[in-house]
Structures are given as structure tokens and as C-alpha cells.
Amino acid sequence: MAQIWGEKTGISTPGEAPSPDLSLRRRRCGLPRMNFSKAVILAVTTVVLIALLVGGSVHHHLKIKTEDNGQPAASNFPWGNFRRTNGFFNGLSTLVPAAQHVADNSKGGRKVPELPAPIINSQDEIMPSMEAEVYNPYPDYTSAEYLAKHEPVHTCYLDEDEKISTPEIYAYPGVPQGMSESLFGSHKALGLRDDVCFDRYGRLGPYGYGYSYNGTELEIHNFTEKAGSEKVLKQSGYLNYSRIDWGVAQKRCYEKNKARFAEVQPNGKQRVKRHAYILRAWSGYEYTEHQKLSIRAMINELSLKSGGEYDVHLLVHIKDEGIPIWADKDIYRRTLEANVPQEFWNISTLWSEQLMRTYYPEPYPGNFDNPANLPVHSVYRSAHFALQWFSQQRPEYDFYWNWEMDLRFTGHYYEFNNRIGEWGRAQPRKGLWERNSRFYIPSHHGDYANFTALVEAEIPVVDAPKDIFEVFRSGASPIWGPVRDFLRDNNTILDAPPENTPPHSYDEDKYTWGVGEDADLLTFDPIFDPTKSTWVFREDVSGWNTSLPVPPRRVSIITVSRLSRGLLNTMHQETAALKHVMFPEMWSPSVAFHYGYKAAYVPHPVYFDRDWPSHYANKIFNPDPTRIADNPFGQKIEHNFLGATFYYHSGFAGALWRRWLGQSENGEGGRVAEQQGTGRMCLRSTLLHPVKHENAPTEV
């Protein structure tokens, strides 16, 4: 059985760069701390990936074996023996209505029904079994219901003369027969549609994929299956996007619609909140054609078509410390133009570590641990400094999305972001921190309401120990409001916002407090207690009294998140006034934890390349919290995420994206395979991370 992904599983850092210390990289990926040569490391990576070749039964209690070099043997990974899920790769000729769909991983592996007979056109091409349709997830801005609540939305255009309309994307009203269900999270829990799927032409064609301008076809389109794409491309039109000034277009859109966002609204109407969608880039970053497509999609779908609810920004780290970007406008402009494509110049903001040293000056005393052995202002340890700084420079937004350049999304950005926000607003605070620490596995937990009840039943409420540190280390009591008493001995504490104080006791609450309140922090992996893990950066904490225990804290792997202006302002004050700082993935969850901000882990759909039995998945990803070595985010155990579509070192995420683009991956897929099989892939809306490259294939 051939493997389906083989991307190197290097570290995905909170900014851009890989870990400068190779031994540290191995530690974070769960491998022993040993000084091997590059050749041995590559060999070990190969051994791990061979696990994907193995078929057979499930082994729950394997003894750990090692190779001669001390590395874990491939047979150590039980998931490598699970049956491979192939339904992702069924093409457009296999589309069926969602009601007829049977997943290839249902209840541990159900036999998939016979695929629909292919439709062949006169050119002997396999055609889609359904017609693509315009996908519009926006509210009806012209409806009486909307206008009764909000100021009207004025249509935005790509050009100043208002002759170039914003493009529409297309989806198919069905899903490929046999497509897998997600292991973590679900579309239904978030209110996302799961009865449609997106192919590469309907999703990216409107932004420049698959058509030509000035008589030259884009290289990324040359070697892929195209049957039926002409209809979508003809409907979406043709445009040379490199001539668009996206920053000016966003500004025009906001100016036309700024009445919607004013603090004071007429006639009792509701103000629409604004978002900054921040892409973390750096000098030397390669803006490939695929990356440009994604950025155009974000700007069009989040900003222009929503009437200015979002502004998309590039926050660009200038690595050369010798360039004084803060001192001279001409130097700033030349540096910008040398590092960012012209169409994105006016959505870009430059920063450097030297600028952060000036803004958040030393010292930061009292460091408990520094596994990276790097200065506190390095982007690796304090990527959040730039985000905090940006929020202080641009305080007009209600929310700030911290987005990474190696994220990709197969669905519609506005639907995803909007539904996530609505889901967060609907969450009660009772039991929220406890739910945050667990993966939601629908095949095991049932619907999200049942998951909520199950988590509540697991919370051990006992008399709190006298030692406040022990309260939070033991997890003896549910988290309810600000957690700040432990800081009083330091005499360094800010006031928590009064709205974060519970209106009544935990027992008195009927799952009402927090409902209708926007979440201050939304993360895309669970928010867990690092003291109950072997996560390597769990004590990278500075600014507190080191004669006392390390302050209680929380962490969410991968810094991708949505943060409120209030939370970011508290993070800024903690850093600027109190000299407090933690490792980036720990900082925003910990500040939210200390000050009682509403934080929630978003149960977005995460797929796996193997058919994990639900009870076994729950055992691995939601283990007994008292067994620190079993924590899924610890060293030597993170291999379980290699076959996921979302984690910092997932190998399957990039492979699935490239296959969806029509590329050959490890000898599978590609143009000929699609033409001779069931056509090109069509995926439900899925967030993928990391996608480290999108190299177009040669002729296959």
C-alpha cells in the first residue's frame, strides 16, 4: 500500500523560521535529544513514514522497540497499522447528495457502496456528476430583517471606477461518495455546511487559477485535469490581478460602509464589529502563485464582499537588523517594495526585532527556563510582541486574527470566520476551560451538547487546598472567572475587567453566563495545562518571582488564533508595565486564564489519513490528565498527529492540499491518475496546516 504523504515533518514556529537548534527541533517533535548527522535524520524520517505503508490489525499495547540508532521503530506506531482512508481522493464523477453519502471511516470502516457510473463527454473526459453553483454564505444584506438591525451595505468593487465586480466562488451541491468524516470537530457543531464540496477551479479559478491573461497561461494550471472547468472559468471571468491594488480597494470599501461600524448607531441599530486579519510574513518569503491566490481570496471574501467587516494585513518581519525601517520613509518604502509583491504593498506593515527591543525594552528578569537558548526578543520566543504592537498602532479593530503563511483553506473564508465567531459567542462559560482542554471526537462523544455534558461530569469538584498553586496544579476545582490570587505575593497584578467577574457561583449558573458574549480568544487546538505535559517550552516564563513556583498557565499549540482588542491590550500592558512574557503559544491563553477573558478552542473539522477507532482515538488524544507522559502534546508522543490535517508538524496536511491541486504526491495522483480515475478531488471546507510548498508537478 503506497504512502500518501512524505513531506518532511519539521517544526512550524510561531512566526516563520524553524528552530535554530536541531536538537531542540527533535525534542519538540517528540524524538530523543541526540546528535545525529543529517543523513541519519533523513533516514529516521523515512522510517517513520514507512509506518504508513503497513496494513493490518490494531495493536493497542505494543512494546517499544528501537532501531540500532536509538530511534523508535516504525512498528511502534499503532496508527500506522490502521486502514488507510482513501475516500478523500474520489473525484467529481462520484458526487452524491449528502443524504446518500457513506463515509469510508464510518464506525471503524464500513464498506463503501459502489461509486456512481462516470459520465463521459465527446472528448472521452470524465465529467462532474453535478453542476457547480455560486457559493454565497453572506447574510442577505438587502433584506428587511438585516436592514432593521444594521446600516445598509454598499457594494464594493475592485477598481476605483466601480466597473470590476468582486468575483464569486463555486461549490458542488454534494460530496464524493466514500469521503471520510473528520476525527476531531465537525461542520455541524460550528454551523458550517457539510453538504457541499469545493474543487480547485471553483475555489481558486476566480482568483487566477486555471486561466490566462495576456495570452500566457499560468504555469500552475498546465499539468492538471480540467474536465468541466470551462463553465466555472467562463462564469467567473478573467482578470489580471497583479494590477489590482488590494490596499486601496479595502480602504475604498471601508469608506463606503463606515457608517455600519460607527460607535454610535442611529435608531437603535446594531454596530457591526471590525476585524484585522493579519498574515505573518517575513523578508525573503516567496510569494508563489498559489500563495497569491490565497491572499486574494481572503481579501475578496472577508473584506470586499462583506462591506468592509475585515481588513487583511501583511505583518512583515524584516530580518536584517541593520535596516532602520523606523527612521526613514524612503528606506521603509524601498524595503517594502523589495520584499512584497506590488499588489499587496498597501496592505503591508513592516517590523523588526530591533523595533520590538525599542518598544518593549529590556530587562525581562526571572526566567524559569529557556530551552531555545535565544534572547527574549527573538521572533521564536516572542512573536506576539509584533501582534501586540500592531494592535496598539491600529486600535480601530475589535478582533485581530493571527494567521500563518502556511495555512490553507479549501472552503469560503467568510463562512468559516463568521461561523466560528457565532459559535464562540454562543458558548456558555461554565465548564468552558475544561472543554477547551479536550478534543471533541464526534464518533465517540456524539453531538457537542453531549460532549459538554460528558466533560461537566468529569470535573472533580472538591474542597480547594490552602496552597493556591496546588489548586490549579491539581485541577481540583472548575475554572470560574479570573485566576489571579497566586500573583499577589509578586505585587504585580493588573485589574481584571469587571465584566470578567462571574455574576454568581459556578453551581448557581445554569449555563447562561457568557452566552451572547464574544470570545476574547479563539484557538484551533485545545487549550491545556502545560504542567500536565512534557511539552518542552512549558516553563519558558519570564518576569515573575523565581523563588515562587511558576505561575499557573495554559497553552494552545500553534499560535493561529483570534484575539479581542481587550485581551491584546492586557497582554501589551503585562509586557510593557510588568515585564511579563511567556513562550508565544502560552502567552495569550495564560493572560486570558489569569484575567478571566472568555477563551474557547474551536472544534473545527480535522481529518486523518487513517481510520482511527473512536474509543482508541479518545484514549490517545484525551488521556487521563494525571498521566503526564500520556499527554498528546508531550515529547515522544506527538507522532500521533502526523496523519492529521491540522497540527504543527502534520505531514498529511500538505500532501492532501497538493493532491487537491491536482499534483502527484509520492507516486499517487496527478493529471493522468485523475483523467483515468474519477476526476479531480472535491473537499469539504477544511483548514490545513502546515503546507510548506506547492511545487507544481512535471508531466505525470
Residue with the larger pLDDT of the pair 35 and 423: 423
What integer pLDDT is reported at residue 107 of this predicted model? 58
Distance CA 72, CA 59 (A): 16
Does residue 121 have a pLDDT over 60? yes
Does residue 439 have a pLDDT over 70? yes
Q: Where does the pLDDT of residue 556 fall: very low under 50, low under 70, confident under 90, or very high at 90 and above?
A: very high
Distance CA 246, CA 158 (A): 8
Q: How high does pLDDT run on average in the chain?
A: 85
Q: What is the mean pLDDT of residues 23-41?
A: 37
Q: What single DSSP character describes residue 302?
A: I
Does residue 140 have a pLDDT over 50? yes
Q: Where is average pLDDT lowest: 99-103, 220-224, 266-270, 327-331? A: 220-224
What integer pLDDT is reported at residue 387 of this predicted model? 98
Does residue 1 have a pLDDT over 50? no
What integer pLDDT is reported at residue 223 of this predicted model? 67
- List beta partners, residue 599: 521
What integer pLDDT is reported at residue 49 of this predicted model? 39
Q: Can you list the positions of beta strands (E) in 226-366?
A: 275-282, 310-317, 348-351
Whether the CB-CB separation of 230 and 224 falls below 8 Å is answered with no
Q: What is the mean pLDDT of residues 296-321?
A: 97
Does residue 53 have a pLDDT over 50? no
What integer pLDDT is reported at residue 606 of this predicted model? 98
Q: What is the mean pLDDT of residues 368-372?
A: 94
Q: Where is average pLDDT lowest: 33-37, 548-552, 587-591? A: 33-37
Q: Where is average pLDDT lowest: 230-234, 305-309, 392-396? A: 230-234
Q: Where does the pLDDT of residue 490 fall: very low under 50, low under 70, confident under 90, or very high at 90 and above?
A: low
Does residue 114 have a pLDDT over 70? yes
What integer pLDDT is reported at residue 78 of this predicted model? 86
Distance CA 463, CA 651 (A): 45
What integer pLDDT is reported at residue 90 of this predicted model? 95
Does residue 26 have a pLDDT over 50? no
Nine cell digits for residue 563: 484575539
Q: Where is average pLDDT lowest: 4-13, 144-153, 243-252, 560-569? A: 4-13
| Dihedral Cα 420, 422, 423, 428, nearest 10 deg | 140
Q: Where is average pLDDT lowest: 13-17, 118-122, 659-663? A: 13-17
What integer pLDDT is reported at residue 81 of this predicted model? 87
What integer pLDDT is reported at residue 547 of this predicted model? 87
What integer pLDDT is reported at residue 494 of this predicted model? 86
Distance CA 523, CA 555 (A): 10
Q: What is the mean pLDDT of residues 193-209?
A: 94
Q: Can you list the positions of beta strands (E) in 160-317?
A: 170-171, 175-176, 212-213, 216-217, 275-282, 310-317
Nine cell digits for residue 273: 464589529
Of 410, 277, 381, 412, which Cα lies nearest the Cα of 689?
A: 410
Does residue 699 have a pLDDT over 50? no
Nine cell digits for residue 380: 521564536
Which residue is listed with cell 497569491? Answer: 292
